[in-house]
Amino acid sequence: MSFFAALLASLLFQQPAAAPVLDGVWEGPISGFAGKVTIRLHMKQSPDGKLEIKMDVPEQGAAGIPVPVTSFAEGVLKWEIPTIQAKYEGKLKEGGKEIEGTFMQITPQPLTLKKLDKPPAGPNRPQEPKPPFPYLTEEVTFPSAAGGVTLAGTLTLPPAGAKKHPAVVLISGSGPQDRDEQLMGHKPFWILADHLSRRGFAVLRYDDRGFGKSTGRFSTATSTDFSRDAEGALNYLKARPEVDPKRVGFIGHSEGGLIAPMIAARRPDVAFIVLIAGTGVPGKEVVAEQARRILKASGMADSAVETNAAVQQKIFEILKQEPDEAAARKLILEAMAGQPNAEATARSSASAWFREFAFYDPAPALEKVKCPVLAVNGELDLQVLPDQNLPPIEAALKKGGNKDFQLVRLPKLNHLLQTAKTGLPAEYGQIEETMAPAALETIANWLAKRAGMGAQQ
């Protein structure tokens, strides 16, 4: 080999490898449980050919989900997430900008992934508070009333004045939630705390037990356990020197709207409660109607809706007859044989939390609540339906002799009190608004009146 040939060969061997064709962000739409959702894949190929994928579903607030099974050979991409029984196979089209294929979870459907020219911008959330703030912010910790759990949160306090401030504790909905009740890029509890502290209220919001900076175990806890955590927040606020202990209450959203009356029923020193999308009937009725309405609104055939309802009824019957969690889980798996997500459904349905939620009737606690109550629902709420839940809440309060309560249905608002078109959960992340101004003012004005502050500050 001549010197020139040897030099040429060495240069060729030193050329950098071509950029991996799949590196980057790819996305495409599919029809999800509650409407159209986006499958977004962050893909990275290593020099040895190994493919790493993480998945986002922006409309559902899911981000960075690891995809454990991946392959790319001869232009064919395959990936799978066994835990949710989701898989995909697609062919890279000429030009390297699109992958055309089929996504499979409950049923197969086409999914074309397109490569983005640049990473997607985060969601626009114009209501998110920006400094400077006309109130004080303090990071705090306090014990649960149950003991053994320390909750971490944020307390917002109006500037010190001659008088002590009324105060509220915010209680989040179901599932592990941080102090802002953050989901799909929204931080509704931050928006609510900001609004109320500007109106003169001290507001305490906190991470659920076992989540964020709070200690304890979330997975084995029930609504009753969470009520003891919220009661710890009540005790903490009453002991603060800036707070008027006679004017402390709760705002609970969704499951939080079930928990607030639990505490007010056993603590006559609760000054007021606000139930945002709170339940008035046992959870099994809420879940059954929620599924029926969401599936129908998503365009699912009536036969499929009824099949799903029948499976749910079987699960409730098993839970009622079998008190042991492991045995119930096994029976639910058998009842769901061959159906998608059977294992995950059996595990969550047999949990202590779901069992209590399914059979807990809010009415007896509501009958014992003597403090002022505001129950607010969005007319488009498909998760806690106003027609199903507001009348029983009203009936229970009347039966108990409560003389100061108000029920409000806000038009065009969904479960998060956003201005919506359909009320489907898939819309939540697509809406820029975090909480409708009309909802914020309804809550703030009602609270101000009950706290003796007048309608406006």
| 7 in a structural domain | no
Q: How many domains does the chain have?
A: 3
- Mean confidence (pLDDT) of the chain: 90
Based on the fold, state whether residues 163 and 258 are members of the same structural domain. Answer: yes
Burial class of residue 3 (count of CB atoms within 10 Å of its CB; 0-12, 13-18, 19+) = exposed
Average of pLDDT values for 238-263?
A: 98
Q: pLDDT category, 162, cuts 50, 70, 90? A: low
Based on the fold, state whether residues 141 and 264 are members of the same structural domain. Answer: yes
CATH number of the domain enclosing 405: 3.40.50.1820
DSSP notation for 137-194: EEEEEEE-TTSS-EEEEEEEEPPP-SSPEEEEEEE--SS---TT--BTTB-HHHHHHH
Based on the fold, state whether residues 195 and 235 are members of the same structural domain. Answer: yes
Residue range 203-243, pLDDT digits in tens: 999 999 999 999 999 999 999 999 999 999 999 999 999 99
User: Domain span at residue 288?
Assistant: 284-356
pLDDT attached to residue 17: 35
Q: Which of 356, 375, 406 is the last residue of a domain?
A: 356
| 130 in a structural domain | no
* Percentage of residues in the chain having pLDDT higher than 90: 75
| 181 in a structural domain | yes
Based on the fold, state whether residues 211 and 324 are members of the same structural domain. Answer: no
Based on the fold, state whether residues 102 and 221 are members of the same structural domain. Answer: no
| Confidence check: pLDDT of 254 > 50 | yes
Based on the fold, state whether residues 389 and 416 are members of the same structural domain. Answer: yes
Residue range 263-313, pLDDT digits in tens: 999 999 999 999 999 999 999 999 999 999 999 998 889 998 999 999 999
Based on the fold, state whether residues 190 and 255 are members of the same structural domain. Answer: yes
Residue range 299-328, pLDDT digits in tens: 889 998 999 999 999 999 999 999 999 999
Based on the fold, state whether residues 274 and 379 are members of the same structural domain. Answer: yes
User: Of the ranges 32-46, 104-118, 147-161, which is most confident?
Assistant: 147-161
| 3 in a structural domain | no
DSSP notation for 323-388: --HHHHHHHHHHHTTT-TTHHHHHHHHTSHHHHHHHH--SHHHHHH--S-EEEEEETT-SSS-HHH
Q: What is the pTM of this model?
A: 0.82
Q: Packing angle between helix 302-321 and helix 342-349, nearest 10 degrees?
A: 40
Based on the fold, state whether residues 300 and 254 are members of the same structural domain. Answer: no
CATH number of the domain enclosing 80: 2.40.128.120
| 251 in a structural domain | yes
The structure tokens listed for 454 are 């007048």
Based on the fold, state whether residues 148 and 268 are members of the same structural domain. Answer: yes
Based on the fold, state whether residues 106 and 157 are members of the same structural domain. Answer: no
| 323 in a structural domain | yes
| 131 in a structural domain | no
| Confidence check: pLDDT of 387 > 70 | yes
Q: Which of 356, 387, 405 is the last residue of a domain?
A: 356
Based on the fold, state whether residues 32 and 83 are members of the same structural domain. Answer: yes
| 19 in a structural domain | no
